[in-house]
Amino acid sequence: MLNSTFKGKETRLMFKSGDKPGAGRYKCQTCGDIIYLFKNSDILPSCPECKAACWVNC
């Protein structure tokens, strides 16, 4: 599967567990689980559902 999912101007940023992408809503690329970071200093965890490490902001 390719990582190029450019639809119009909507660019999805990808993050990995351990990153500090800032407060916001993030979706697991593997299973679609949604997590929230409430502080800019929060660190992305591994997915609690599938243990994947790749997230996109949404």
The answer to whether residue 49 forms part of the interface with Zn ion (CB under 5 A) is: yes
The answer to whether residue 44 forms part of the interface with Zn ion (CB under 5 A) is: no
What single string gives the DSSP state of each residue in 2-50? -S---BTTB-PPEEETT----SEEEEETTT--EEEE-STTPPP---TTT
The answer to whether residue 50 forms part of the interface with Zn ion (CB under 5 A) is: yes
Per CB under 5 A, the list member of 26, 28, 37, 55 interacting with Zn ion is 28
Per CB under 5 A, the list member of 52, 53, 54, 56 interacting with Zn ion is 52
Per CB under 5 A, the list member of 12, 14, 17, 30 interacting with Zn ion is 30
Neighbours of 28 (CB within 10 A): 20
